[in-house]
Copies of this chain bind each other. A is one copy, B any other.
Amino acid sequence: MDQTQGYTDFPHQSVTFPEGVALDCGRMLPSVTVAYRTYGTLNEAKSNAILICHALTGDQYVAEQNPETGRPGWWQRVVGPGAPVDTEKYFVICANVLGGCMGSTGPHSPHAEKPGALWGTDFPAITIHDMVRVQKRLIEHLGIQKLFAVVGGSMGGMQALSWAVQFPDMLFAAVPIAAAYYHSAQNIAFHEIGRQAIYADPGFKGGNYWAEGGRPERGLAVARMTAHITYVSEEALNRKFGRKLQNAEGISAFGEQFAVESYLQYQGSSFVQRFDANSYLAITRAMDLFDLSSEQAGELAGAFKGVKARFLLVSFSSDWLFPTAQSRAIARALNHVAANVSFVEVQSDKGHDAFLLDEPDFHATLRGFLNGCAEHAGLS
C-alpha cells in the first residue's frame, strides 16, 4: 500500500487506482488516490464491514486522533470498541472523500495535464455520486463484495443514499443521518456566501495560492463562520452565549463585543489550519449538485426503485440545515417503493451538529438498528 500526502504533505495511509475514474461532469480523472483508515477485523465471510462516510469538513480519522491535525477522531462517540458502531464486532472503513484534503485526490493533487503543477481550480467538478464510485473501488480493493452498512451524517448521509441507489447489491443497510435528498436554495445560498468570501480574499489568487504563497485564510474563515451558524440551533447559541459580553469594558462599534462573536471567530481561525480552500469550494459544490429526484424527472420514489438496503433515517428536531421534513420526504419515497425503512426524529436542541455530539437517544437508535440488521444478516 503506498502512502500519499495531504494538505500539509503529511503521509496518510492510502491506495491509488491508476486506471482513474469517469466523473459525472464528463471528464476523466486519470488516477485516483483514496486515503482511508480501518478499525476492527474483517471476518472470514467478509460480511461485517461498515463504511462510514464523512461530512463536508470531516476526514478518514473517524475513531482515532488525526495524526496530521492532532484532533481527536470526529466520531469517537459513535465508532469504537463497544460503541454503537462497535469495532469489536464490525470492520469499519472510513475514507477521505474525493476532492478532500486529507490524502485523497483533490485540488491539492498533482495536475494530470500540467507536470509539476497542482490541480487548483482546474480540478474537475465532482459529485456525491463520484465520491461514492471512488469509495466502491476502495471496497473492492479490500476484497469486500457487500458492505454490511453504509453510515453517514450530513454530506455523509447523502453518500449513504447514493450508495443505496447506485449500488443496491453492495450494501445490506443504509443509515443517512441529518441528511437530505437535495440541497435547497437556501443551503446553496449559504455555501455561496462562503465561496464568495474565499474568492474575495486576495490571498486566493484565482485558486493558485499554493504556487504563489499564502492562503485565503480570512475568506475561508468567514466561510467556516457562516457554515457554523447553520450547524447550530438558535436555542444552542442562546444557551451557550445569549447576549453575554466579551468586551465588558464598554460598548464598541468597531471591535469585539459579544461572546458569540469570539466563538465564531475561533471557529473560523482554527478551521483554516486544517482545511484547504480549494477543497472547500469543490466539496460544497458537490453538495449543491446533489438532487436524487432530478435524476427521475423530479420523482424521488423513481430514484429509489431497485434499492435493496434496509434504511434507518435519523433527523434532529432543531436541525434547520437539513430539517426533519427532508428525512420524512425520503422515508415517504422509500415507503412508496416498499423499501424497509425506519425513521426516527431525535428530540435535540443542538441543531445539525447534534449528529456529532453526545445524543444518547440517537446512539441507542443506531445501535439497536445495527443489532437488528446483524441478526437478520446472520452476523450475530
Contact = CB atoms under 8 A, between A and B. Distances in A.
Interface string A190-218: 10110011011110000100000000001
A289 interface: yes
A237 B196 contact: no
Interface string A177-198: 0000011111011101100110
Contacts of A289: 251, 257
Q: Is the interface of A mostly helix, strand, loop or mixed?
A: helix
A243 B281 contact: no
A238 interface: yes
Interface residues of A, number: 60
A288 interface: yes
Copies of this chain, tallied across the complex: 2
A72 interface: no
Nearest to A238: B185
A139 interface: no
Interface in A271-291: 281-282, 285-286, 288-289, 291
A346 interface: no
A157 interface: no
A229 interface: yes
B243 A182 contact: yes
A257 B288 contact: yes
A192 B121 contact: no
B184 A234 contact: yes
Interface stretch (A60-68, A167-175, A260-268, A357-365): A260-268
Nearest to A194: B222
A219 interface: yes
B24 A265 contact: no
Interface stretch (A48-56, A80-88, A122-130): A122-130
